[in-house]
């Protein structure tokens, strides 16, 4: 990741109920509260204390911003509901090319998981 200020949040993926609105056969939760951090020279980030989803969670998506950005891009997917740490080593260019984002306008609140840079 490019050195500088970034933000991350997590969403939970579940099998949709018959009456729920979903895309591509999955239901995605609202995002967790975002956490900010400054990436240093190592250009990678170890996320720890990643929140677990509710019962029925099949995966978690971790979104992040480019340096100083406000749009969120899919950085990685955790294909379980048990892992509580992950190493993010994605370049900003790769994140933008993923072309998956959540529109800006989220309220920044205290973190619910930890970041080590």
Q: What is the pTM of this model?
A: 0.75
pLDDT for 109: 38
From residue 48, give the alpha-carbon distance in Å to each of 23, 53, 80, 103, 111.
Answer: 28, 15, 15, 25, 11
Please write the tens of the pLDDT for every residue from 30-83.
888 888 888 877 777 888 899 999 898 999 988 888 888 888 888 888 999 999
- Mean pLDDT taken over the chain: 76
CB-CB contact of 110 with 93 (8 Å): no
Residue written as token pair 């967790």: 32
pLDDT over threshold 90, residue 23: no
pLDDT for 98: 66
């Amino acid at each position: 990741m490019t050195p500088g200020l970034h933000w991350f949040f997590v969403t939970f993926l579940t099998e949709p109920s018959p009456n729920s609105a979903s895309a591509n056969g999955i239901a995605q939760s609202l995002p967790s509260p975002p956490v900010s951090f400054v990436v240093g020279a190592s250009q990678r980030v170890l996320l720890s204390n990643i929140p677990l989803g509710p019962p029925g969670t099949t995966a978690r998506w971790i979104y992040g911003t480019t340096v100083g950005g406000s749009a969120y891009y899919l950085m990685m997917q955790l294909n379980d509901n048990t892992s509580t740490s992950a190493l993010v080593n994605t370049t900003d260019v790769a994140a933008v090319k993923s072309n998956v984002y959540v529109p800006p306008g989220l309220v920044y609140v205290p973190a619910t998981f930890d970041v080590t840079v």
